[in-house]
Amino acid sequence: MNHALIEVNDLTCTVAGHRLFDRLGLTVASGDVLGLWGPNGSGKSTLLRCLAGLFEADGGVIKHAASLLYMGHRPGLNELLSPLENLRWCAGLQEKDVSPEMLLSAIHSVGLDSYKDAPCRTLSAGQMRRAALARLCISESRLWLLDEPMTSLDDDAVALVRDLIAKHRTEGGGCICATHVNLELPQTRALELGA
């Protein structure tokens, strides 16, 4: 079970006159967790967006064999809808059907049971992050691209993220995670940007 989920070759990107990365190459296979490190502005978010297909790099080849999940800085939640309604929409964007029970159990896993029907605008930043994390629970994507997933989270939620990533990798998924904080997961590789 060790085939590559994503293979990047010669990726080059210049944004606003700064060369963020030049001829970058990386491979992530199932079971891999790759941490992206680097100071602010080093291009971590841009790299993840390039991999997610949201940003066109100047050159290079990205080949991926798996569907993607992307969690960026913005929560991806509509503030007028409840966490449950947002999750239902996310589930609808995927290929496979997601049953209502799975949606409810995902909301339960992130600890938002009592808030599941409240409009997201009434939630705190940390709760919004948790609501966004619910996507990880129902995701069928093999490759996860996470941009600083631990931001705004309390210790319980941080542990939750770790558990989710660990579970995902045992199921054969892979993860690329931009982070400032030590992921504290066994056998993670690291890629340093802006060096």
Chain residues binding other proteins by CB under 8 A are 15-17, 52-56, 67-68, 70, 72-81, 85, 88-90, 92-93, 119
Find the shortest distance in angstroms from Cβ 190 to other proteins: 25
Find the shortest distance in angstroms from Cβ 90 to other proteins: 7
Report the amino acid identity of residue 166: A
Find the shortest distance in angstroms from Cβ 76 to other proteins: 4
- Residue 129 CB neighbours (<10 A): 22
Q: How far apart are CA 56 and CA 75, in angstroms?
A: 22
Helix (H, G, I), strand (E, B) or coil at 165: helix
State which residue, 53 or 190, has the beta carbon closest to other proteins: 53
State which residue, 79 or 163, has the beta carbon closest to other proteins: 79
Give residue for tokens 């995670």.
Answer: 177
State which residue, 92 or 186, has the beta carbon closest to other proteins: 92
Cα separation values, 181 from 87, 107, 171, 186, Å: 27, 25, 24, 14
Find the shortest distance in angstroms from Cβ 140 to other proteins: 13
State which residue, 21 or 155, has the beta carbon closest to other proteins: 21
State which residue, 72 or 83, has the beta carbon closest to other proteins: 72
Find the shortest distance in angstroms from Cβ 187 to other proteins: 27
Cα separation values, 113 from 67, 98, 119, 162, 187, Å: 29, 18, 13, 20, 33
| The two structure tokens encoding residue 98 | 């997601």
